[in-house]
Amino acid sequence: MEKARIGIVGLGSIAQTIHLPILSKFPDVEIVAVCDLDRAKARFVADKFNVRRYYNNFEKMLAIEQDLDGVDICTPTARHKEMAIAALGEKNNVLIEKPLARTALEAEEIAAAAKKYHQALMVGMNNRFRPDAMILKSFIEDKALGRLFYTKAGWFKKLNTESAWLTKKTQSGGGVALDLGIVMLDLAFWMMGFPEVREVSATNYSHHTKDVEDSSVVFLKMKNGSTLTIEASWSFESTSDFFYCDCFGTEGSGSLNPFRIIKRMHDNLVNVAPASVETPQSLYRKSYENELKHWIGALRGLHQIISTGDEAVHRMKVLDLIYKSAKRGKAIAIK
């Protein structure tokens, strides 16, 4: 194909500040149509990004735009299942912003539809595409840190007013564990090589929310003996947002934010990470640029999708167990 023809649905903050600005600059992409329930917003966004057609009805967009190569779904989570299955059914490859769905069952239905209609399904886990994360992952794969036995990751971020729907369980499926926690869960599992989970223990807190949790602390034991801690919060009292992922191996350790790869050399601890002057804002932007470039490359047949629907189903199953453990107040063993 000369250009990948894309339709984007859901024109909120992530679409307007990330997906549209980045995709519109790719020379091998044509954004054919945009869609949002708010017709005035759809028209405004179409004009702003020089998109020829706009819709406020997703089914109508799919019916008219029969030659799309991919549909980019940026809506609130409650709409993911119906929209993804509809797009896949019309023979469109699909990219969905995280999380894939509200529950593991919904996620399984979406993944099954992708297989049924023989279409590619990718879930937006942009942190895998951070330059520093990709470098650390390459060190881990080369066994430079030895065998990973413990990883801890967390994300503390204040909830903005535009994302108030996240606090409504019927819309979001859950609170901060599903919003921020699943992102760190995915990143940590990817770093660790996707070990099988043996036991899940979680505690959730609702200090400033009623319907969902606003803080979550999770501890996972793996069948290979390794362990993982995940922290996520909208309500931790902090002067700024904070994101981290620390991996500990038998021969070294690696960290994101700040970026370090520590090895013992000649009885001294040495940071062997390549020098970087990237700011957190730059890394955030590049993670999305790399992610979207990867998706477009896959649509053009250059490589296979990573961050697949099947991987997202696995994370959702773990997340369901996290909620079950928090509700019961005890660890959940997986047989």
Assess if residue 204 is contained within a domain. yes
DSSP run (H or E) holding 22? helix 20-23
Domain boundary among 86, 104, 126: 126
Report the distance separating Cα 66 and Cα 288, nearest Å: 27
| Residue 225 and residue 202 in one domain | yes
Looking at 223-309, which runs of residues are DSSP E strands?
227-233, 242-249, 252-256, 260-265, 268-271
* C-alpha–C-alpha distance, residues 87 and 324, integer Å: 32
Same domain, 98 and 205: no
328 domain residue, yes or no = yes
Instruction: Give the CA distances from residue 211 to residues 106, 175, 214, 248, in Å, rounded to whole numbers and listed in that order.
Output: 20, 8, 10, 36
Same domain, 281 and 184: yes
Same domain, 100 and 185: no
pLDDT of residue 86: 98
The last residue of a domain, from among 126, 160, 175: 126
Q: Is residue 294 part of a domain?
A: no
Contacts of 234 (CB under 8 A, 6+ apart): 157, 158, 159, 175, 176, 179, 180, 208, 209, 214, 215
pLDDT at 119: 97
Contact status, residue 170 vs residue 78, Cβ threshold 8 Å: yes
10-residue mean pLDDT series, the chain (335 residues):
93 97 98 98 98 98 97 97 98 97 98 98 98 97 96 94 89 97 98 97 96 97 98 89 95 95 90 87 96 97 95 97 98 92
Q: What is the pLDDT of residue 1?
A: 67
116 shares a domain with 34: yes
Residue 172 shares a structural domain with residue 240: yes
* Same domain membership, residue 159 and residue 120: no
> What is the number of structural domains in the chain?
2
Residue with tokens 């309500």: 235
Residues 173 and 105 in one domain: no
Residues 6+ apart with CB under 8 A from 300: 1, 4, 28
Q: Are 38 and 32 in contact (CB under 8 A)?
A: no
pLDDT at residue 223, as a whole number:
97
Q: Does residue 270 form part of some domain?
A: yes
* 303: in domain: no
Task: Report the greatest alpha carbon distance in the chain.
Answer: 66
pLDDT recorded at residue 277: 77
State the pLDDT at residue 316: 97
Identify whether residues 109 and 137 lie together within a single domain: no
Angle between helices 104-116 and 80-89 (to 10 degrees): 10
Q: Give the pLDDT confidence of 251-291 residue by residue, as tens digits.
A: 999 999 999 999 988 888 999 999 887 888 899 999 999 99
Domain stop point among 126, 143, 178: 126
* 165 plus 140 within the same structural domain: yes
- Domain span at residue 48 reads 4-126
CATH of the domain at 48: 3.40.50.720
According to the model, what pLDDT value does residue 178 have? 97
Same domain, yes or no: 137 and 60: no
Same-domain status, 153 and 53: no
Assigned domain for 191 exists: yes
